[in-house]
Structures are given as structure tokens and as C-alpha cells.
Chain A
Amino acid sequence: MSELLANDLITPDAGESPLLSLSEVSILKAAPLTRLSLRARDASLKDAGKAFGAALPVNPLLAETSKKRAALWMGPDEWTLLAPEEDCQALFTAIEEKLGDQPHSLVDISDRSEAIIVSGEKASWLLNTGIFIDFSIESFPVGTVTRTVFHKSPVMVWRTGTDTFVVEAWVSFMEYVTGLLVQSAQELEVA
């Protein structure tokens, strides 16, 4: 697990039992996180990155990670900033102070979504039961992050390792997403 991106940040929720644990693929609920949505112009990215503690990626579909921080590219002027749960208020204040009058928008969206960790050799197969993206490692290398659609639910997928994906959905969609993943995985139990 050690080579996984952001493994000091995205951790299984200790209080939750696995949603799925097969030898080929498992699904774990991730512990709560601070999630901030940052919208800003190019001129402010450096300052924002400094205040946050990780640079903001400018190339599409990329994530930058540093110690307990991850900045995910969501759009050309949109980033989701991930940090430990307890850092929320301090980070919010720090970024607001640093950016001051520079045009930007910082909004706390920590509770808007939940994350699950889907891992195992069949992880990408399982995601492909509902997501049409080509998850071959050449097309979707480790570190790639994107919003997309899982069946009828919008989701975010972030590949943190060859066989490990972080999947986020808005909270009220999570039951649908995990329910379908578990249902689709059951055929893997058949020898």
C-alpha cells in the first residue's frame, strides 16, 4: 500500500466494516476529509498552492499531492483541495488570507461527498461495470483524476495506485454507487 498516492490522507474509515472484501477486489469507506472547492484565476494559483501546502496542478485531470494534502484538477479554474478533517477551518482561513482581494471563490464542500476506496486486481473491471472510461494504465495512469458518470450517478474517480481508485459521490448518491458495485462484484465469488 505504501506506494499509493495520498496514503497519509485517504484512509479507510476505522469505524466502518468493508463494503466488499473479495480476494480480487475490495471496497472500503474512506474516513472523512476536508474538501474545499477553490475557483481562481491563473495569477492566484501560486499563492493558493502555498497557503494550501500543495501546488495546484494546471494540466488537466491531474492531482498534486504533498504531506497530507492533495490538490485535484477539476476544471481549468477549479480545484478540489483535500486535507485532514481537522484542518478545515485553519486551511480555509489561511487560503482566504493569502488570496485577499485576488478574485477567487473558496467554499467548504467537505460534507457534500463521501469517498470509497476500490482496490484489487479487478478494481478497474468493477468500475467499468458502470463507468465507460478506459482504465487501462496507458490511458488512465496513476494520478489521474476526473469527474464522470457511474450508471446514473455523477462520481469522481482518482487513481491512486495501479489497482487502487478513490471514488467519490455526493452523499445521497453513495448508497446507489456502493450498492451497484457490490451487486456487480458478486459474480467474482463464483469459482
Chain B
Amino acid sequence: MSQPFRTEKGGRIDRNEQLTFTFDGEQMQGHKGDTLASALLANGVHLVGRSFKYHRPRGIISSGSEEPNALVGIYRNGDQTPNLRATQVELYQGLEAISQNRFPSLGFDIGAINDLMSPLFPAGFYYKTFMWPKSFWDRVYEPVIRAAAGLGKPPKKPDHDFYGNLYAHCDVLVAGSGPSGLAAALAAAETGAKVILCDEQAEFGGSLLSENSASVDGKEPADWVAVTLARLGAMDNVTLLPRTTAFGYFAHNYVALAERITDHIANPDPKLPRERLWQVRAKEVVIAAGAIERPLVFPENDRPGILLADAGRTYLNRYGVKVGHKVLVATASDSAWQAAFDMADHGVEVAAIVDLRETPPKNLMAIAEARGIRVEAGCVVTGTLGRKRVKAALLGRLMTSGQVASGGQVECDALLMSGGWTPTVSLYSQSRGKVVWDGDKGAFVPGKSVQHERSTGASKGLYGLQATLEDGYAAGENAAKAATGKSAKIAYSTATGGEASNGGTLGALPHDRNASRVKAFVDYQNDVTAKDVKLAVREGMHSIEHIKRYTTTGMATDQGRLSNMNALKIASGALDRPLTDVGLTTFRQPFTPTTFGLFAGVSRGDFFDPVRKTPSHDWVVENGGVFEDVGQWKRTWYFPKNGEDMHAAVARECKIARESVGLFDASTLGKIEVVGPDAAEFLERMYTNPWKKLATGRCRYGLLLNDAGFITDDGVIGRLAEGRFHVTTTTGGAPSVFARMEDYLQTEWPDLDVWITSTTEQYAVAAVQGPKAREVIAPFIEGIDLSAENLPHMSVREGTFCGVPCRLFRISFTGELGFEINVSRRHGKMMWETLAKEIEKHSGTAYGTETMHVLRAEKGYIIVGQDTDGTVTPQDAGMTWAIGKKKLDFVGKRGLERPDLKADGRPQFVGLLTTDPKVKLEEGAQVTVAENPATGTSAEGHVTSSYYSPALDRTIALAMVKNGQALEGKTLYVPMPEGSIPVEVTGTVFYDKEGARINV
């Protein structure tokens, strides 16, 4: 028979729409409106997983997001999402679910041997066992633990879904849509405030959806929900977000919501994001997160078929599912009685109500009697029987002595338990509020508000339908008033029935069993027992934070929402200290497990980071260039021709650039226009070099330090007019140089009449370098005399290139005759293509960053960030020539006077030549004095740049070496795994030492 545990009528499922799904390959039926959990229960399936440590059979316990056991994997498009809670997975046609943490099958799991060996796995087991020998950790312990541990299997393929993001603002955000949440949303919305109402469930209404023994305004609670939602839905100022979890409450009322958009749809449109991250900035937040029922801690309380009483009631009333045919109810509070009554009303046999309390409320006793239900007061469950499903419970009678006497055995196929209620204070706690102990309610409740929020209803420990409704309205009104200053009078709905539940218990229940043989679980998912908590205390863990980490209690996906209070009570007993002294661990974001996809959002694939391209990009692609990433920029690395490898391509490019001409895209270099009457004064203060006497039309290499005296950037600066400079920076340094200039300008020298503007992207820049450079550009340049006399090395002029305005720099980073042409970016492509064509006439080549690096290294020019590392001074780099000696101050001048920067023994910039010209050093390799230094010897320095130099037909290297400049001609060593490499210390200029080639 299909769905043997389905009720004949009732519930919110659509009985006309039947859905087929599979669980571990077995086909079953459910209905639209079911969760996977309710559908499994309808089919009589309780066993849904194996526990983490002992691999014990586990069943569905709850009906909400706190579910610790029913973690499943859902298959879709050939891959699976692990660790979804079956209680939250909405059923759709063709859903494929698998159980987890079992091998080879759910029914027979080899790992269950851990359960028999459990004396070997006490709390802190990992800490104690895998300590010794140390060498075993990497090879033995870690791999074995990894293979055995973990919940679910991670997906193997890239996520085929995409995820959306939305920033939103509202006056009042209401998290939770039970009676108080709905009332709050309505009250706030009626004032005209912008309201967002979210709920983690598919349907709004919370507990009202499973409440059938009360009424609101004379209506069934679920009908009142529908009416209220219709009202809210009709208002433009209200956003309703079902299937949306408020999972993170951050500073300044910034709340993150996870909206699940397609997980519940059988065949979602691929244009829909799977989930959307809502980043909400709310003026006021109303937390209406409700409360959850506490499990009872008794021996074997983890057998499949044992559920929270409220969950049993929810499955019955909301989903039309009976959790069993013969149900035992064990409780310490009133609310579970209603579950028993509802069961009885649906024809379920209630084996007994077992209440811890000696004298349960008379009215409840009367109702039970009227239904003929056996009641055992002053009784507890002391154990359960059955393997993969509970089949009987052992009862114990509480004696005045505090002992427990055997109370016989009761047969049942399901057991509903209630230890009372725990307010869900997670969001409040995340908002950095401190919970306070309410002795009357036996619960931690929200204390003072730290941010603009208020808790309402059950989430602050307030129970009873009428009271929570009233509190919700007030919370909504007050929140709206605080957010907007506006208020409105609305008629409150009134409820009858749904009275507050009294009673409850904390900690482990007493029993008459052999304490060393039985397990009473506190944290189901992490397999933590009452015994483990006591053991942790015995072994010296006295802070709840230590107990948590030692036992892992409260570290499951529910963050201890089910287990914390019981663990705390047990710890408090073991410590013999009041509960409030032991303290509660902090609830952190996220409230429930949240997908990585949601956090990554759009930042993946092509949109992981902006990909910045220069105007030559398309040409480079067409001509087979290879790119390298320089920050966000795509820069051409090299241009392989006819199957060349990188080495061959770079060697050819270098050779051609030195013999004829090369073309290089320098557009990514940072450019800053410094303009104003005090422009020269400003540069004088920023850079080491003198600027005031630089003539208009001339350029100078500028070195930029920080105030500590270390090199941070460099670049050529040209003076375009008395009060206008064109500053260039390194590609990577552009934003930081600009920011530092602004910092000094705004906060140190606001009196200067000068402003800076980034022009990095205003100009496209082509560098034409080589003996033929002048001939290459000459046909296109107008308005500038290119002769060496008029335009010597380090000059800048304005003219036109192919008729469009240009700034022409005669500068060189290669040691050859060189020009850099700046045109407005829109003309960049034209300029590049024109020059690329022209260099062909001179057998020239386009070259990339690798050739640029080799050519500059041959000349000993530093690259900031490669040859320097933030601790290199101009003296260290052999660049004292760049310091304006007569200047009274510049950024870094005082820093350079520090004794340690002037002391002997500083690393200095030198060249290194290997004895064997074919051997290329590794960049980053250490340099030593001894050929085979003893272990522990400090290095004298390290290699910063190393290349094959085509011009010298040998390898070259640059290095920072202690007192290196005095070591010229000496032999040092670069020890490598294959053997020590002898190197000669040289000057840093390897090629054209006189600099003749540049001044032609």
C-alpha cells in the first residue's frame, strides 16, 4: 500500500497531486506540499542516516531547520548537493535523494562497529589518541580520519547553477512568520513603512500551519494566515520572501538572507539563479524566530521513530502524516499532551503519556481521560528497544529518594518527546546581544538590544497564541515608529486556544540502567552523550567553550539549538555550579548551513574579478600572443611564432628589439596628471628627485619612498607645462600611489594649490624601442621635431599621431633609443595597428612583458616589487643618484637617516654571473659565502631576477646581497638541491655599460 502512514484527510498537502521520488534508489510516492521528511514518514521510513561517530541508525527527529539526523544528498543534473536537511527539502516530481555516512548501505553499515567499540571513543578521543608518534599524523592518522569522517560527499564537478545577489533597504525587516512575525509585519506595514518579511520555510505561518486546536478571529489559524498574507501581498511597501533564511546579523543592522529559488522546482528554468543572497540594510529588525522543542536526554533516545512531540504534531496536522500507529508520548511539558490528543483524534493509538511531573495539569489529565489515554505521571523513559526502529520503551518511576524504579515496558512504534521549549536567540546573539537567564521560563532570553532590533513572541520566551499575537503587533508598531516616526492604528486579531505551555526540564533524565553501558544523546549529529559531557568536566574542561570543543557538543549544523541547554545543565551539575555561571556559547553566522555558491555569488568564472584589457588586446589575440595576468590586467607575455616555445620567442623578441625595433603595449602603466601652481613643489615633496628645475618638455626618472625610507614605486615624470606634470607609475602601484598622494595632499599639505587626476585609462601607450624606433614613428608624427638635438633622451612633446593629439615621450626601459606614444584611448587600437604594420617594414617585432623584463635586466634597471621587497632603500639599490641632495625634505628623507638604514651589512643590489653561462639561477634562491653551508647558516642574500640574456648569449641575474657592492669580483654560491652553483658578483649593468645606445 502506498503511503501507509498518510492520514485519510487533513493537512496542507495537495492530495490530488501525487509525486514520485526515490530514496537510496527506492521509488516512493508523496504529495505536493510534502517535505522529503514528511513524504518518507508517510511511507513509514524513519531510518534516514547513520550517525557521525558511532554510525548508529538515526531517524527524523524534527520538522524544521534544526534537524540533526536527516541529512541527505540530493541529485540533480548528475551531481549532488550533500547535507541538506530532509525536513527542509521540498518534494518535487522525480526528486532523487540518498542517505549519507553509511557503507555499504543504510541498513547494513560497517562503520557501526564503532558503536560496539565506543568505549574506545570517549570525548576528546582525537586529542588523546592521535598524539603519538608524531610522524604518524601525516601518513596514517590524518588520511584515515579524513576517509572516515565528514558528513556527505562534496560535489565533484563545478557548480552548474548560478547565484544571484541583491542589495535591499527597508524600514523594518521581520525574520520569521509565525503569529508574532505576521502580526509585526502587518502592524509595521500599515504605517506605510517599507517591510521585508522572510521565513525559512516554503509557506508563511510558522506554528499556525500545524495548529488546529485554536482559532484567530474565529478562523482556523491557517485561514487567518492566508487572509493576513493577502493583506500584506496587496501592499507595495511589503516584500514577502518565503524560503528565505535570515542567516547572518552583522554590524549596523546589516542582515544577510539566503533565498532559495529553484531547489523546490522539478525542472527550473536555467535562467533562474538557484539562490539569491539578499544583503539587507534594515533600519529596524524584528526577530520572530520562534522557539524549538528540546529533546529529552534518556538512554537510547536516538532510535529511529523517536521524534520531538511538536514535530509529530506538525507532521500530523500540516502534512497529514502519522509518525506511527502506536505512539508513546514522553514529556515534561504541556505542549506534548496536545500532540497526544491530536494523534488520538486521528485514530492513532496512544500507548501512554509519560510525564516527568508528579502532578500534570488537571485539565490535561481530564482530556486524556476522556480520550481513554493512559497517563503515567512522575515517570520517565529509561531506555528503548528495537534496532532500526523503536519497538518498545522502558519506563522508570521517580522515587522520592531520587532513585528510579523500573516501571515496565510499553510497546510503541514511535515515541514523541518534549523537554520543553528553547527560544531561538541565534539572530539576537549574532547581533551581539547578550542573552539573560529567565528562571521562570527556564530559558535564556534576549537581554538588552545592542542594535536596532527587538525580539518578539516565542523567540523571547513568550508563549500562548494571544500573547504572541499581541506582542507581535506591538513589536511591529514600535519598530515602524523607530524607523520612520510614523504610526497607525490597526485592529488586532484575537485568538482563542493555543495556551502557553508550562513545564519543561533540562539535562539528563534519571534512570535505573547501567550507566557505563548505555548512551543518552545530547547532541545527535555529533554523537555526544551525557557521559561525554561529564567526562569532559572530569578531565578539566570547566568553561562551556572548552566543553564544547572537547566534546564537540553544539558544533553540529544546528549550532546546538537542540543540544546546548541540556549540555549546559549536565555540565553545570558536574561542575556543581549554577547554570548561569557556566555560560552559553555564542551563536554565530550562519544560522543554518549556507551554500558556498551563495557566498561566492557572481564572483566566479569570467566574473571572478574584473578582467582589464588594453586597446591592443584583439590584435594580440589575432596574432597568437600569450597573456599573463598582472593584477586585473591582461598583459601580453610573449608572441610565439611558428611553434616557438617561450624561451625561443623571448630570445627572438630581445634580439630584434636590440638590432632593429620592437613594439610594446605600455598602456597599463599608471598615469597621474599633477596640475596646479604648486605641482612642482608637490612632486618635490613626494619623490626623492628634484623637480623644480626640470624644464618644460623634459622628463626625469622619479623614485618614490615611504616615510620609513623604503622604495615603494618608480616611474618617469614629464613636465608638460609650468604647472602640469604627466606622472607614470608601475602597473600594480597605480592605485596605491594615487591614494598616497591624495593622503599627503589632503591631510599633510592641504595648503598646496595642486590636484591630481588619474589618467591611466585616458591614454593608450605604445612603446617603440630599438635603433629603428625613430624611423618607425616618423611617418605618423606631426608637430614634433624628432631629431636627437630637439628631442634628446628624457624629453616629452605634444603633437599628433596620424592626426590625433598625442604626448610623445622619448624614454627607454630597454637601453635602446625609445619612444612612448600616448594617444586618447579610443585611438589606441588604431595606433597599435598602425605601428604593428610599420615595424614589419623594418623587420621589427611586437614584444611582451617577458622580453621587457629581460631587456631591462640587461641594463640593471630595477622592477619595484620584484627586485625590491618593501625593505630596500635607494642606497641598497645603488640609486643614491636619484636623491636630490639639496632637498630639505621629501617623503622618506628622514627615514633614510635612521642609523640601521645607514649601518654596515645592508643588503645591496648586485649582478650575479654563474661560472657556467648556461646555468640559470632560480629567482628567490639564497646566496651564501660557503659552497656547502652548514644547516642553519644565514643566507647572504637572494636572487631577485634571473634570465637568459640573448644580447650576452649567457644567463644573467640580479640579487640583493649583504654588503654586495663591496664584493664585486668575488665568488659566492647559490646552494640548490642538485648542488651548489658558483656565481661571480658583478655590477648591475650587463649590456652597453656606457649607455651609448640610448643617446642616438
Contact = CB atoms under 8 A, between A and B. Distances in A.
A and B touch in the complex (CB under 8 A): yes
Contact of B757 (A37, A134, A171): A37
Contacts of B194: 136
A179 B614 CA distance: 17
Nearest to B762: A112
A99 B83 CA distance: 68
Given A107-B673, A111-B824, A151-B603, A171 B761 contact: yes
Nearest to B168: A128
Given A39-B755, A187-B271, A170 B162 contact: no
Nearest to B634: A172
B138 interface: no
B762 A176 contact: no
A59 interface: no
Among A77, A133, A180, the one with the most B-chain Cβ atoms within 10 Å of its Cβ is: A180
A112 B758 contact: yes
A16 interface: no
Contacts of A153: 610
A28 B809 CA distance: 37
B762 A110 contact: yes
B592 to A, nearest CB: 24
Interface string A113-125: 1000000000001
B164 A187 contact: yes
Given A109-B757, A151-B602, A176 B610 contact: yes
Interface in A58-105: 77-78, 101, 103-105
Among A111, A131, A187, the one with the most B-chain Cβ atoms within 10 Å of its Cβ is: A111
Given A176-B607, A190-B272, A105 B164 contact: no
A175 interface: yes
B279 interface: yes
A189 interface: yes
A130 interface: yes
Contacts of A176: 607, 610-611
B612 interface: yes
B513 interface: no
A173 B607 contact: no
Contacts of B612: 172-173
Interface size class of B (residues with CB under 8 A): 35 or more
A19 B140 CA distance: 57
A111 B805 CA distance: 13
Contacts of B166: 125, 128-129
B165 interface: yes
Interface string B257-274: 000000000000101110
Interface string A126-151: 00111111101001000000000001
Interface in B925-966: none
Contact of B602 (A125, A131, A184): A184
A104 B602 contact: no
A168 B510 CA distance: 70
Given A107-B675, A187-B271, A172 B610 contact: yes
Contact of B164 (A32, A129, A152, A179): A129
A172 B162 CA distance: 24
B761 A172 contact: yes
Contacts of B271: 186-187, 189-190
A161 B706 CA distance: 46
Among A128, A130, A171, the one with the most B-chain Cβ atoms within 10 Å of its Cβ is: A171
B108 interface: no
Contact of A106 (B169, B281, B675, B825): B675
B762 A103 contact: no
Contacts of B676: 39, 103-105
Interface in B579-618: 602-603, 606-607, 609-614
Contacts, number: 114
Nearest to B735: A154
A163 interface: no
A113 B602 CA distance: 23
A5 to B, nearest CB: 24
Contact of A111 (B273, B753, B761): B761
Contacts of A47: none
A2 interface: no
Contacts of B673: 105, 107
Given A128-B166, A176-B611, A179-B607, A113 B675 contact: no
Nearest to B162: A183
B167 A109 contact: no
B320 to A, nearest CB: 32
B167 A183 contact: no
Contact of B603 (A104, A108, A152, A189): A152
Contact of B761 (A106, A112, A180, A187): A112
A55 to B, nearest CB: 20
A39 B757 contact: yes
Contact of B607 (A134, A180, A190): A180
A61 B193 CA distance: 26
A171 B610 CA distance: 11
A175 B761 CA distance: 14
B236 to A, nearest CB: 11
B317 to A, nearest CB: 34
A109 B675 CA distance: 14
A153 B614 CA distance: 17
Nearest to B826: A111
Contacts of B758: 112
Contacts of B602: 130, 151, 180, 183-184
A132 B757 contact: no
A175 B613 contact: yes
Contacts of A130: 165, 167, 602
Contacts of B759: 107, 109, 112
B26 to A, nearest CB: 34
B250 to A, nearest CB: 13
A172 B758 CA distance: 14
B167 A187 contact: no
A162 B809 CA distance: 47
B825 A112 contact: yes
B675 A132 contact: no
Given A129-B165, A131-B167, A172-B761, A111 B825 contact: yes
B244 to A, nearest CB: 16
B780 to A, nearest CB: 19
B824 A152 contact: no
B167 A132 contact: yes
Interface in B138-157: none
Contact of B753 (A103, A129, A179, A183): A103
B677 interface: yes
Contacts of B279: 132
A183 to B, nearest CB: 7
Contacts of A111: 761-763, 824-826
B606 A172 contact: no
Interface in B668-693: 673, 675-677
Contacts of A104: 675-676, 755
A166 to B, nearest CB: 18
Nearest to B608: A152
Interface in B166-221: 166-169, 194
A108 B762 contact: yes
A133 B676 CA distance: 34
B754 interface: yes
Contacts of A32: 826
Contacts of B614: 172
B164 A173 contact: no
Contacts of A132: 167, 279, 281
Q: Which 9 A-B pairs have the closest CB atoms?
A: A172-B612, A105-B675, A103-B753, A39-B755, A105-B755, A176-B610, A111-B825, A134-B169, A132-B167
Given A128-B166, A132-B281, A133-B167, 4 more contacts: A39-B757, A105-B675, A107-B759, A175-B610
19 contacts: A104-B676, A105-B754, A105-B755, A107-B675, A107-B759, A108-B824, A111-B762, A111-B826, A128-B166, A130-B165, A133-B167, A134-B281, A136-B194, A171-B825, A180-B602, A183-B602, A183-B607, A190-B269, A190-B272
